[in-house]
Structure formats: C-alpha cells, structure tokens
Amino acid sequence: MAHLQQSAALQIEEICSRYVNEETPLMMILSDIQKEYGYIPLEVQELVSEKTGISVAEIYGVVTFYSFFSLKPKGKNVIGCCLGTACYVKGAQQVVDKFSEILGIKPGETTDDGLFTIDALRCIGACGIAPAVQINGTVYPKMSVDQVPALIEKYRNGGNA
Ligand code: FES
C-alpha cells in the first residue's frame, strides 16, 4: 500500500461504511483493516480520518498503543513472544533475546528478507505452559533458549521441517 491504490482506497471506504451507525467505530474499523491488509500505514489512517471525522492524531494514538496493530507490513512468519509475568519469570526474556540474536532484529522489527517479524506480547492466556511463544497462530509451550534455532529453521523451511 505504499501508494494507496484505487482498489485499496475503495475497500477502506467500504470498511469505514460498515460502522457508520456505531458510536465508537474506530477499533472495529482498524481491526478490519489490520486483518485485511496486515498493517495500517499513515496514508490509510488519513483516509480513515477523512471518512470518519476522527482526527489522524487519535487514530495514530490507537494504532501505536495496541500491539495488535502495525504501521509496517509484518513478515511471512510472525513470532509472538509472550513477555507477560508468568512467562517472564520462567525465562521469556532470554527466549526473545535468542530470537533477536539469531534473526538480527529487535521485537517489533521485520527481517530484510520479509521472512520474520518478532512481536513482544502480553499474556496470551497460556500461563500454564509458560514461557509460551506463538508463531503464525501455533502456540509452542515451555520454550527454552535451546529450542529457538530449530524453530527458526523450521519456519525458514516453510514451517514443515
Ligand atoms: S504470561 Fe505468558 S501466557 Fe500468560
């Protein structure tokens, strides 16, 4: 969406129109756009502002506050590392650091080849199997630093190795 194409603009207008009767439509609109396109760049925020009358500052504030929303395209494989309390006390920080070390990116960043994004998450509801990592929707329980290299290789090879 670097230059918002006509078709994308129409689709975003359609998403905005779904919630015209809602009192507070912003979260629903942004969720639909995030799901549809995988990210919400500034030009899209400006279009949403134009269509809804909500200021760009408010929209930007919401997009940057919630980790579910993203300003940039995410990688093919999104590695969500839980850093909630239960995971943290069981060594989640070391697990995130290992992903960062091998991939050469920090949480919130995407590798240059577009293969991996690391996300730091709050509790994902899997505290009983902490520390938990979620990749493309699959949850990996009781992760240890030693398991990280093989997991990266698995997804580098399409997730089937
Ligand atoms: S704190 Fe990680 S799953 Fe709850």
Interval 7-23: pLDDT, tens: 889 999 999 999 999 98
CA of 48 to the centre of ligand 1 (A): 33
Whole-number CA gyration radius for the chain: 18
CA of 118 to the centre of ligand 1 (A): 16
pLDDT score for 118 = 95
Interval 72-81: pLDDT, tens: 888 999 999 9
Ligand 1 atom closest to Cα of residue 92: 2
User: Per-residue DSSP letters for 5-39?
Assistant: -HHHHHHHHHHHHHTTT-SS-HHHHHHHHHHHHS-
pLDDT score for 2 = 52
CA of 123 to the centre of ligand 1 (A): 4
Asked if pLDDT for residue 86 goes beyond 70, the answer is yes
First-last CA distance in the chain: 32
Residue 11 to residue 13: CA distance in whole angstroms:
5
Range 16-34 average pLDDT = 94
Interval 122-133: pLDDT, tens: 899 999 999 999
Contact 19, 55 (CB under 8 A): no
Asked if pLDDT for residue 141 goes beyond 90, the answer is yes
Ligand 1: residues within 6 Å at CB? 82, 84-87, 123-127, 130, 132
pLDDT score for 112 = 93
Q: What's the whole-number average pLDDT of the chain?
A: 92
Ligand 1 atom closest to Cα of residue 124: 3
Pocket test for ligand 1, best of 82, 129, 133 (most atoms within 8 A of CB): 82
Range 49-77 average pLDDT = 92
